[in-house]
Amino acid sequence: MLDYNRSNLKLNTFLLLGIPGLEDAHLWISIPFCLVYLLSLTGNVALLLIIKTDRKLHEPMYLFLCMLSVADLMLTSSTLPKILSLFWFNDREIYFEACLTQMYFIHSLSTMESGFILAMAFDRFVAICHPLRHSTILTPAVIVGLGLLIVFRGAVLLSPHPFLLRWLSYCKTNVISHTYCEFMALIKLVCSETKIRRAYSLIVAFLTGGLDFILIICSYVLILFTVFNLPSKAARLKTLSTCVSHVWVILVFYTPAFFSFLTHRFGHHIAPPVHIFIANIYLLIPPMMNPIIYGVKTKRIRDGFLKFLTIKCVQLCKVCESPDHQQR
């Protein structure tokens, strides 16, 4: 498993520690993790089906929401199965290449999620500040182009990360004090100089999540400026209500993301379990909450969900009432 040489440690596998100090409670911790994973899968798949089947929801905001849901599904599926395997079966081993692949998917998909949230903010900005030009600005071609650009940005900017760690020497240990593979957890095991690699990671983080957040704030400043110039209070409240769901998604995504980023790089005195919990919240909670937020706050999605359930129930009743089924 491990070819050990103090000056040049070549790794074939890593060992995931899980949550340090809480190894005995892993089985109990796995229960909420599993429930959150199931809710994420169910909610995002249902959201995709509802938007796909209801042509009234084929609008820019909901199409960007579909893209966000796909990224959420891929992100949770690239991490949660291995985490649950670790908690349930003490399956700590992960191959070096698999670890680097998981790290790449986590960071690139998180970057894509940030981009899709920015695209949704752009949609709100155009819809409120330039309502008459909304359909001409956000055409189907523009929506597809923005989606592809966001995917391309996440895929390309994060692609050097695995190679930055692939050929390094690991002279400390092969034990990762985490539930999954991520850049900062791995680079702490490297024995050579890592300032340039850390700097690249920080620059990419700023150019993606940091810049996205700044642009989102700027868009909402312009939105608020436009809203407060509306003639009546009722019009202002009605306009702001169209942004409520998106604002909640922003808070749910960026709050744990910034806490995780800051505690990893500057919170050296914070206990390791706190680091791990924050990092897991960052991966677990947004994919679960996004469909719930839009399901609760958006009447059209609620109606679509009820319509979808009604259609499925009617189809099931027809199957049960069919002669072939009754004969069986």
Per-residue pLDDT of 246-283, as tens digits, reads 999 999 999 888 877 777 666 567 777 777 888 888 88
Whole domain around residue 213: which residue ranges?
13-309
> Does the structure show a pLDDT above 60 at 4?
no
Number of separate domains in the chain = 1
> Does the structure show a pLDDT above 50 at 74?
yes
Give mean pLDDT, residues 3-29.
72
Give mean pLDDT, residues 221-228.
94
> Does the structure show a pLDDT above 50 at 9?
no
The angle at the Cα of 216, spanning 218 to 150, to the nearest 5 degrees, equals 130
pTM: 0.88
Residue 197 domain-assigned? yes
Residue 225 domain-assigned? yes
> Does the structure show a pLDDT above 70 at 123?
yes
Confidence of residue 299 (pLDDT cuts 50, 70, 90): confident
The pLDDT value given to residue 233: 86
Confidence of residue 151 (pLDDT cuts 50, 70, 90): very high
Residue 3 domain-assigned? no
What radius of gyration, in Å, describes the C-alpha atoms of the chain? Answer: 23
| Residue 217 CB-half CA count within 13 A | 7
What are 162-171's pLDDT values in tens digits? 988 887 777 7
| Residue 327 CB-half CA count within 13 A | 3
> Does the structure show a pLDDT above 70 at 325?
no
The pLDDT value given to residue 169: 78
Residue 1 domain-assigned? no
Percentage of the residues of the chain whose pLDDT score is greater than 70:
88
> Does the structure show a pLDDT above 80 at 305?
no
The phi and psi torsions of 250 (rounded to 5 degrees) equal -60, -50
User: For residue 293, what are the contacts with CB-CB under 8 A and spacing of at least 6?
Assistant: 245, 248, 249, 252
Confidence of residue 314 (pLDDT cuts 50, 70, 90): low
> Does the structure show a pLDDT above 90 at 222?
yes
Give mean pLDDT, residues 126-151.
94
Residue 238 domain-assigned? yes
Dihedral sign for Cα atoms in the order 301, 242, 219, 122: positive
138-143 long-range contacts, Cβ below 8 Å, gap at least 24?
Answer: 138/60, 143/60, 143/63, 143/64
User: For residue 45, what are the contacts with CB-CB under 8 A and spacing of at least 6?
Assistant: 73
Q: What are the distances in angstroms from CA 285 to CA 36, 59, 290, 314? A: 7, 26, 9, 33
> Does the structure show a pLDDT above 60 at 297?
yes
Residue 259 domain-assigned? yes
The stretches of 130-210 forming alpha helices (DSSP H) are 134-137, 140-157, 160-166, 183-187, 195-205
**Contact status, residue 262 vs residue 284, Cβ threshold 8 Å:** no
Residue 84 burial by Cβ neighbours in a 10 Å radius (0-12, 13-18, 19+)? middle
| Residue 4 CB-half CA count within 13 A | 5
Q: What is the CATH number of the domain that holds 216?
A: 1.20.1070.10
Residue 5 domain-assigned? no
Residue 27 domain-assigned? yes
User: What is the pLDDT of the chain when averaged over all its residues?
Assistant: 85
> Does the structure show a pLDDT above 90 at 2?
no
Confidence of residue 327 (pLDDT cuts 50, 70, 90): low
Give mean pLDDT, residues 113-142.
94
